[in-house]
Amino acid sequence: MVERYCHLTGFIQTKLKELEVTGAPESNGNFEPSVKVKLPQLSIPRFGGHLQDCVTFKDTFLSLVRNNATIPNIQKFHYLLAAINGDARKVIQHIPASEPGFRVAWEILIDRYENERLIINTHIDIMKLPSLATENTNQLRQIVDTTKCNLEALKAMNLHTETWDLMITF
């Protein structure tokens, strides 16, 4: 759900920027100013090295920072450092904060954490929840929510979850 929200927010921001740049005159010659909507500022999600968070972090960071040509690489590196912690931070802790350092740090993080098979396994492992010992609506709701969330994450990775083939092959 978070992944979908971030993707849609990035898409909307891109379209709004296109509208600001391409406000075109109507066919009758009158210029119609483009509509400018003030959206709340988005924050970059934190990434600590948990594989289930990798895709969301990567896509959001790409859309908000890395693919933004107006931000210099040194500034992108500082945004990256501010957004990561834990194991992910340890992986790049000795890379100097510099223009080329950003590219090196980004590639190291992608090489380390963008392993589709491990990400799929992580989502499947999370769905292996304990059975209910007693009737408990809170635990049942948690099982349903966790399973649904992870199935949706797998669908977002263009994997077929209608059948349980993933459980057998992974």
Q: What is the pTM of this model?
A: 0.57
CB within 8 Å of 135: residues ≥ 6 apart: none
Mean pLDDT across 150-160: 70
DSSP assigned state of 157:
T
Q: What is the pLDDT of residues 67-107, one digit of tens each?
A: 999 999 999 999 999 999 999 999 999 999 888 999 999 99
Q: What is the pLDDT of residues 51-61, one digit of tens each?
A: 778 888 999 99
pLDDT of residue 51: 79
pLDDT of residue 27: 47
Q: How far apart are CA 79 and CA 101, in angstroms?
A: 13
CB atoms within 10 A of CB 148: 12
